[in-house]
Structure 1
Amino acid sequence: MKRFLALLIPIIILLVSIPILLNQGMILPAKIVGVVLILLTTISLRIWLRRAIREKLSLDSIKFNVNHRYYLDEVSPIYRYMPKGEKKVLEKRMGKLLADLKFDDTTREELNAEEMLSYALFQILTVYKEPYRSLKGKMIVFDQTNNTGELKISEGKYVLLNPVLLENLLKEIQTVETFSTSNAPIIGQLRDLYLKS
């Protein structure tokens, strides 16, 4: 609440001053104060809304630890050579994506955290310049027998893909630019899946 007081107090003062100015017959100053009040309130609401969205994003996402970052450094030259600020933005988007999705594996009993990380990195890199969209309700199913290098979509909810192929592509591609221009079918398919959600 304290951080909002800096904007809330001037709004209240301006709001109270309008009827006082009108009672004294000062119509033009009351109008000017009214316009200032509207502008200040609009700016304040935008600031508060942006903060609320940022806080919600940080609460609803998976936090990355040293092991996660080490794995991403090893598997992706794109991630390894990114500036620190870009890595933080990328990690936040990946964490949000991982929190939104459900995962399963057709070939193993347990899910592999590294495979989920490689999928999240791959998915976010396919839409690197796009704003974040939620994929809530989608299930990503890892299928090591899918050697086509493409997605298999089942019932509109399940996306079967081979995590080993994703990892191999991440190791090969050096920059975001070459990633976006790559002719690997799975890149276009994951991009479409994301943008159509």
Structure 2
Amino acid sequence: MTTTQIIAAIISSSVLSAALTSFVNWILHNSNYKKDYYKKILEKRFNAFEKVQDLAGKLSFQTQLDNSVIPTIFFDKEYYDQFIISLATTIDSSFWLDISTSSKLTELNVFLLNNITNNINYDWDIDQMNQKYNELGTNHLENIRLFRQEIQTLVNKELKNLHKVERFFNNKIELEKSFPVLKSKFTNSN
């Protein structure tokens, strides 16, 4: 073997080794990128499900009135308003939830709008409003209990598949249900 052949063999093996190393590094980088992407998606989904879990917890608390038990969210205007804000922030994160859970949250929102908010006259004094919240809470205790159970069931079901990111995005193609919104019984002077 001549000196030229030896040098050519060393250079070609060095070039081949560098190319192979670059190719393996590129594959590892792409693999890590995909893993990091999935981690970020999972983190967003976990955060959304934590909000739903918190919301279900708020629906489960009950308060004893003189003659009935009501969900605590209907104790007074302040509790109800805090719950509505919590529901709104949860719905804001609903993109990261499966379609069934997202639809159930929308259904709960429309139910509360149609059956609670639209039955409150904001021209009433605070005591009248709170009394009406209590009355509506008594009337809708079972509905709220069912919403909480359904939401909890959906969350438990979805948590089993939370890590299946591709399946999650494939299922996002489904259309969300729509729910009719009714007009308020009152026109406010504000």
TM-score (norm 2): 0.35
Q: Which has the higher strand share?
A: 1
Could you say which structure has the larger radius of gyration?
2
Between 1 and 2, higher relative CO (CA 8 Å, sep ≥ 6) is seen in 2
TM-score (norm 1): 0.34
